Amino acid sequence: MSVHGPLLCRLLMLLSLWIVPTPASGHPQQRPCRLTQRTALCNNSNLTSVPVGLPGSTEELQLNSNLIKTLQDDCLQYPSLATLSLACNHLEKLESNTFQHSKLLKSLNFANNNLYVSYQETGNALKTLPKLRSLDLSENTLDEEIAAVLLQNLTSLEYLNLSGNLLRRIDETSFGHLHLLKELDLQRNLLFEIDNAFDGTPKLQRLNLALNYLPCLTDFHMTQLVVLNASHNFIEWFISREDINDTFQIETLDLSHNKLLFFPFLPNTSRLRNLYLSYNRVSFYERLEDNVTFPETVEFYNLRNTTNITAKLWDDNLHGDISSLETLDLRGNQLWYFPQGFIRKMPSLSRLRLCTNCLESLNLTLEQFSGSLYELDVSNNRLKEIVADDVTLVTLGNLTYLNLSLNDLDCISSGLFLTLPSLRSVDLSYNNIGICLPEEAEASTGSGMDLKTTVSLRQLYLKGCNLGMIPPTAFSGLSLTHLDLSDNPMLSGQRSIQSLSSTLQHLGLGNTHIGDFDFSDFQNLKSLNISRNSLLRLPASILNLDLKLLDLRDNKLSTIPSAQANTLAPKLHTVFLTGNPFNCCQTEWFRTFETTKTIHVVGQSDMECTDLFQTHSILHSRLFLCQEENGESIFWYIILFASICVSLVGILIIVFLTLKPKVIHKSIKNKCFKPTSY
Ligand SMILES: *[C@@H]1O[C@H](CO)[C@@H](O)[C@H](O)[C@H]1NC(C)=O
Ligand SMILES: *[C@@H]1O[C@H](CO)[C@@H](O)[C@H](O)[C@H]1NC(C)=O
Ligand SMILES: *[C@@H]1O[C@H](CO)[C@@H](O)[C@H](O)[C@H]1NC(C)=O
Ligand SMILES: *[C@@H]1O[C@H](CO)[C@@H](O)[C@H](O)[C@H]1NC(C)=O
Ligand SMILES: *[C@@H]1O[C@H](CO)[C@@H](O)[C@H](O)[C@H]1NC(C)=O
Ligand SMILES: *[C@@H]1O[C@H](CO)[C@@H](O)[C@H](O)[C@H]1NC(C)=O
Ligand SMILES: *[C@@H]1O[C@H](CO)[C@@H](O)[C@H](O)[C@H]1NC(C)=O
Ligand SMILES: *[C@@H]1O[C@H](CO)[C@@H](O)[C@H](O)[C@H]1NC(C)=O
Ligand SMILES: *[C@@H]1O[C@H](CO)[C@@H](O)[C@H](O)[C@H]1NC(C)=O
Ligand SMILES: *[C@@H]1O[C@H](CO)[C@@H](O)[C@H](O)[C@H]1NC(C)=O
Ligand SMILES: *[C@@H]1O[C@H](CO)[C@@H](O)[C@H](O)[C@H]1NC(C)=O
């Protein structure tokens, strides 16, 4: 059960390498340890026991990633020791008097060991540290009984890490005596039930329950909690207690990757700012036609009792206090509408992520988003239209990132936003906006595509939009740094892009039939995608650019002339070249790229080339059969060799026949002229 153990250990090793030792004057330097002030760093030194003879004033002792199995009585002779770290050893036992000379210990890290083995004795040792504040017991194969023994008397603990163990069920006895606990990490256990487990920890502020098997969180009443992470469980219900007048201190609630069907029943009053609900099945139901037949009461069972919780499940207004929300992440759910006034209840909402839901329309006038909206992602829904009047658009003055990709929008809906004053990035990819653009443009200005866009716009994504003719002035006046027009095979009028030549850094023209496009003016271009364009040769105009990324996949290149390769190789960091019919006999460019350390040729093993006879992986240059540069070729050698062989054999046969005609004669006779009896 050490899923992340090795990684942690490696990290610790790295960390230990980072720390530069300052020679400790006066103290004799212990061989495997480096001393920096009052800290002894003995990480990763194959130690099997705690080193002796370190300065008596040592306050911190780091022994991570060693081979220590037991901490023996009296092994810690350092009365000032406050911090001891033994992560990633083979610790099985702490003898009862381990800490008798180190009573000031405040922080112990035993992450990634085997403390489940002799836990009774280890528990006795820990009992002697009533001042301990921080304890890391993560990744020690502990179940709840063992954990209880280890934690028996540690009433001063403020930080406890039990992640990556085998805890299944906890109740009020588990942590009931840890009255000062502020942070508890229980992620990566097997928890399926937490029965009032936190009633005795009134100071708990950060609780991590992620990656367990919890089926629900009901009767939530931890008013002091600030961060609760319950992501990656099987939670179907989150219900807060209603009869509490106090303001819940919760600021961050992560319920992502669960099985929620309903929007969580949040506390009546809270400071909740970040609510993560991505990848659940959340929907609203009041608008369902047949909702009357659904029950109103849910019964919850646990091992001890059954509770009935009556909630008006189908009432869309019972989601509690969302008035402080700033981030609401609802990606990957099943929302098809917002209850009346839902959006209006979040006056500070700044990030709303609704990617991959079932929204069919969005009426911004109706919903009344707040002016603080900064990021709106409604990509991958079924939006046919977005409605907004001018007044509404004026209020969206802070909207900066907008993602509308993968919907069914037409150009009128999607063009709405392009005048917003703060807009920097718009993704309209994979909508059907191309068809109506020229029409609308003609009707309005006669100058072509009517992207009456705001000057603040920097990134525009128009992939797969069925774009046709782009008028020459389409982008004039804009200072785009990113433009992606890929996957518009009918695209024409690429010259319009020239007006962006001084600002563009990323240009996507994959699958657009670009032909002989001249890139020489795009002096700031860093990334260029010209894949899937049937290019027979590399456009010479890109050689003068300072490109870092170049995508040339799926073209018709047979080679890259050496001069061009030599120019490109030192500049490029990433190049994509798969899917081209390269000629094995002209792959000098590949050696150039291969030997340039700063360039990453993506998918090298998938790159192929063809020689005189067959197709090879471009990496196997020894197999290529090619014509040499001086005109001769292995092929001709082979033919020459073959003909010499044939002649030799012929000569041999003739010689043989002349020398031994009789033998031949006989054998022919024997075989072909069998004596017949007539
Ligand atoms: C440890 O706690 C138990 C009760 O949980 C108590 O009886 C015992 O005296 C405590 N021992 C020490 C050493 O504090
Ligand atoms: C608890 O321990 C795990 C594994 O050792 C670590 O990844 C995690 O960050 C720790 N939790 C906290 C809150 O420090
Ligand atoms: C909650 O825990 C998961 C799993 O460890 C982690 O990926 C996620 O970032 C955490 N959420 C927050 C809000 O920190
Ligand atoms: C909390 O809200 C619910 C539903 O609106 C209400 O029934 C309950 O009385 C409220 N509780 C308090 C303490 O105000
Ligand atoms: C909640 O507060 C109101 C007014 O402040 C008070 O009348 C009511 O009794 C309180 N309810 C509880 C459960 O404390
Ligand atoms: C669904 O139920 C709620 C109350 O339970 C009711 O107000 C609403 O009108 C119902 N919706 C329909 C479409 O019947
Ligand atoms: C819960 O409600 C059901 C149906 O209303 C009832 O039969 C059951 O006795 C209730 N259980 C408790 C513990 O109240
Ligand atoms: C959008 O909402 C406004 C305000 O409620 C309403 O007047 C308008 O008719 C709605 N538009 C559509 C297309 O539903
Ligand atoms: C717009 O966003 C910025 C940065 O997030 C923020 O400081 C500012 O208060 C916001 N403006 C409004 C009107 O909410
Ligand atoms: C927009 O959303 C789509 C789908 O969710 C995503 O693939 C794309 O990267 C997003 N665009 C931007 C600019 O972040
Ligand atoms: C280049 O554009 C194509 C679409 O034609 C896309 O599939 C590919 O991922 C893009 N390349 C990069 C490096 O983003």
Task: Output 595 or 314, whichever has higher pLDDT.
Answer: 595
Residue 130: predicted pLDDT: 85
pLDDT higher than threshold 60 for residue 29: no
Average pLDDT of every residue of the chain = 85
Backbone angles phi, psi at 623, to 5 degrees: -90, -10
Residue pair 350/372 in contact (Cβ under 8 Å)? The answer is yes
pLDDT higher than threshold 60 for residue 670: no
CA-derived radius of gyration, the chain = 37
Residue 654: both structure tokens together: 């003739």
Residue in 16, 95, 107, 83 with CA at minimum distance from that of residue 49: 95
Q: How far is the CA of 309 from the centre of ligand 7 (A)?
A: 9
> 157-161, 437-441, 496-500, 548-552: lowest mean pLDDT where?
437-441
> 302-316, 516-530, 637-651: lowest mean pLDDT where?
302-316
For a mutational test of ligand 11's pocket, the pick from 486, 507, 526, i.e. the residue with the most ligand atoms closer than 8 A to its C-beta, is 486
Q: How far is the CA of 72 from the centre of ligand 2 (A)?
A: 27
Residue pair 450/474 in contact (Cβ under 8 Å)? The answer is no
Q: How far is the CA of 444 from the centre of ligand 10 (A)?
A: 30
Ligand number nearest CA of 267 is: 4
pLDDT higher than threshold 50 for residue 502: yes
The single residue listed with the structure tokens 């001084």 is 502
Residue 271: both structure tokens together: 């400071």
**C-alpha to C-alpha distance for 450 and 459, rounded to whole angstroms:** 17
Residue 545: predicted pLDDT: 93
Ligand number nearest CA of 3 is: 2
Is 406 touching ligand 10 by the criterion CB < 6 Å? yes
**C-alpha to C-alpha distance for 508 and 550, rounded to whole angstroms:** 10
pLDDT higher than threshold 60 for residue 620: yes
Residue 312: predicted pLDDT: 66
Is 152 touching ligand 1 by the criterion CB < 6 Å? yes
**C-alpha to C-alpha distance for 473 and 479, rounded to whole angstroms:** 13
Residue 5: predicted pLDDT: 43
Q: Each residue of 289-303: pLDDT tens digit?
A: 666 666 666 666 655
* Cβ-Cβ contacts under 8 Å for 221 (sequence gap 6 or more): 240, 241, 244
- Which protein residue has the closest C-alpha to ligand 3 atom 5? 210
Is 290 touching ligand 5 by the criterion CB < 6 Å? no
Q: How far is the CA of 398 from the centre of ligand 3 (A)?
A: 28
Task: Output 673 or 247, whichever has higher pLDDT.
Answer: 247
pLDDT higher than threshold 80 for residue 672: no
The closest-lying atom of ligand 10 relative to the alpha carbon of residue 355 is: 5
Mean pLDDT across 320-335: 96
- Which protein residue has the closest C-alpha to ligand 4 atom 14? 245
pLDDT higher than threshold 50 for residue 388: yes
Residue in 452, 515, 506 with CA at minimum distance from that of residue 484: 506
Ligand number nearest CA of 124 is: 1
Is 605 touching ligand 4 by the criterion CB < 6 Å? no
pLDDT higher than threshold 70 for residue 468: yes
**C-alpha to C-alpha distance for 279 and 277, rounded to whole angstroms:** 7
Residue 226: predicted pLDDT: 98
Q: β-strand 193-195 against 216-220: which pairing, if any?
A: unpaired
pLDDT higher than threshold 50 for residue 331: yes
Ligand number nearest CA of 248 is: 4
pLDDT higher than threshold 80 for residue 21: no
3-state DSSP of 400-413: CEEECCCCCCCHHH
Residue 235: predicted pLDDT: 95
**C-alpha to C-alpha distance for 14 and 487, rounded to whole angstroms:** 44
DSSP state of 416: G
Q: How far is the CA of 398 from the centre of ligand 9 (A)?
A: 6
**C-alpha to C-alpha distance for 270 and 251, rounded to whole angstroms:** 8
Task: Output 446 or 91, whichever has higher pLDDT.
Answer: 91
pLDDT higher than threshold 60 for residue 272: yes
Is 243 touching ligand 5 by the criterion CB < 6 Å? yes
Mean pLDDT across 93-108: 93
Q: Where on the phi/psi map is residue 29: left (φ > 0), alpha (ψ -120 to 50), or beta?
A: beta
Helix (DSSP H) and strand (DSSP E) numbers for the chain: 12, 37
Strands (E), 592-646: 600-602, 608-610, 615-617
For a mutational test of ligand 2's pocket, the pick from 140, 162, 163, i.e. the residue with the most ligand atoms closer than 8 A to its C-beta, is 163
Q: Each residue of 199-245: pLDDT tens digit?
A: 999 999 999 999 999 999 988 999 999 999 999 999 998 999 888 98
For a mutational test of ligand 10's pocket, the pick from 279, 352, 377, 481, i.e. the residue with the most ligand atoms closer than 8 A to its C-beta, is 377
Q: How far is the CA of 433 from the centre of ligand 11 (A)?
A: 20
Ligand number nearest CA of 369 is: 9
The closest-lying atom of ligand 7 relative to the alpha carbon of residue 299 is: 1
Residue in 593, 548, 604 with CA at minimum distance from that of residue 566: 593
Q: How far is the CA of 9 from the centre of ligand 3 (A)?
A: 21
- Which protein residue has the closest C-alpha to ligand 11 atom 5? 510
Task: Output 309 or 226, whichever has higher pLDDT.
Answer: 226
Is 242 touching ligand 4 by the criterion CB < 6 Å? yes
Backbone angles phi, psi at 325, to 5 degrees: -60, 135
Ligand number nearest CA of 270 is: 4
Q: Each residue of 520-579: pLDDT tens digit?
A: 999 999 999 999 999 999 999 999 999 999 999 999 999 999 999 999 999 999 999 999
The closest-lying atom of ligand 8 relative to the alpha carbon of residue 363 is: 1
| pLDDT confidence bin for 446, thresholds 50/70/90 | very low
The closest-lying atom of ligand 3 relative to the alpha carbon of residue 229 is: 1
Q: Each residue of 49-70: pLDDT tens digit?
A: 999 889 989 999 999 999 999 9
Residue 30: predicted pLDDT: 44
Mean pLDDT across 443-461: 65
| pLDDT confidence bin for 15, thresholds 50/70/90 | very low
Query: 32: number of CA atoms within 13 Å, CB side?
Result: 18
pLDDT higher than threshold 80 for residue 4: no
Residue 293: predicted pLDDT: 64
CB atoms < 10 A from the CB of 594, how many?
A: 16
Q: C-alpha angle with apex 228: 225 to 230, nearest 5 degrees? A: 150
**C-alpha to C-alpha distance for 554 and 607, rounded to whole angstroms:** 11
* Ligand 3 pocket residues where CB is under 6 Å: 187, 210-211, 229, 231-232, 252, 254, 276
Residue 350: predicted pLDDT: 97
- Which protein residue has the closest C-alpha to ligand 9 atom 7? 372
Residue in 462, 498, 502 with CA at minimum distance from that of residue 483: 462
- Which protein residue has the closest C-alpha to ligand 4 atom 5? 318
> 122-126, 200-204, 318-322: lowest mean pLDDT where?
318-322
**C-alpha to C-alpha distance for 409 and 464, rounded to whole angstroms:** 13
Mean pLDDT across 159-184: 95
- Which protein residue has the closest C-alpha to ligand 10 atom 1? 403
Q: How far is the CA of 519 from the centre of ligand 3 (A)?
A: 44
Residue 26: predicted pLDDT: 38
Q: Each residue of 141-162: pLDDT tens digit?
A: 999 999 999 999 899 999 999 9
**C-alpha to C-alpha distance for 72 and 586, rounded to whole angstroms:** 69
pLDDT higher than threshold 60 for residue 2: no
For a mutational test of ligand 7's pocket, the pick from 219, 298, 299, i.e. the residue with the most ligand atoms closer than 8 A to its C-beta, is 299
Q: How far is the CA of 185 from the centre of ligand 2 (A)?
A: 7
**C-alpha to C-alpha distance for 252 and 415, rounded to whole angstroms:** 35
pLDDT higher than threshold 70 for residue 676: no
Is 291 touching ligand 6 by the criterion CB < 6 Å? yes
Type and span of the H or E element at 583: strand 582-583
Residue in 18, 13, 6 with CA at minimum distance from that of residue 44: 13
Is 306 touching ligand 7 by the criterion CB < 6 Å? yes
Distances in Å between the Cα of 261 and the Cα atoms of 192, 198, 232, 330, 334 are 19, 26, 15, 12, 9
Is 431 touching ligand 10 by the criterion CB < 6 Å? no
* Cβ-Cβ contacts under 8 Å for 58 (sequence gap 6 or more): 35, 38, 39, 40, 78, 80, 81
Q: How far is the CA of 153 from the centre of ligand 1 (A)?
A: 6
Mean pLDDT across 633-661: 70
Residue 439: predicted pLDDT: 45
CB burial string 282-305: b at 16+ within 10 A, e below:
bbbeeeeeeeeeeeeebeeebeee
Mean pLDDT across 73-85: 92
Is 297 touching ligand 7 by the criterion CB < 6 Å? yes
Residue 27: predicted pLDDT: 43
CB atoms < 10 A from the CB of 472, how many?
A: 16
Is 92 touching ligand 10 by the criterion CB < 6 Å? no
Percent of the chain with pLDDT over 70: 83
- Which protein residue has the closest C-alpha to ligand 11 atom 13? 551
Ligand number nearest CA of 403 is: 10
Backbone angles phi, psi at 125, to 5 degrees: -65, -45
**C-alpha to C-alpha distance for 626 and 337, rounded to whole angstroms:** 65
Return the axis-axis angle of helices 144-151 and 119-127, rounded to nearest 10°: 30
Is 155 touching ligand 1 by the criterion CB < 6 Å? no
The full length of the chain comes to 678
The closest-lying atom of ligand 2 relative to the alpha carbon of residue 159 is: 13
- Which protein residue has the closest C-alpha to ligand 9 atom 9? 372
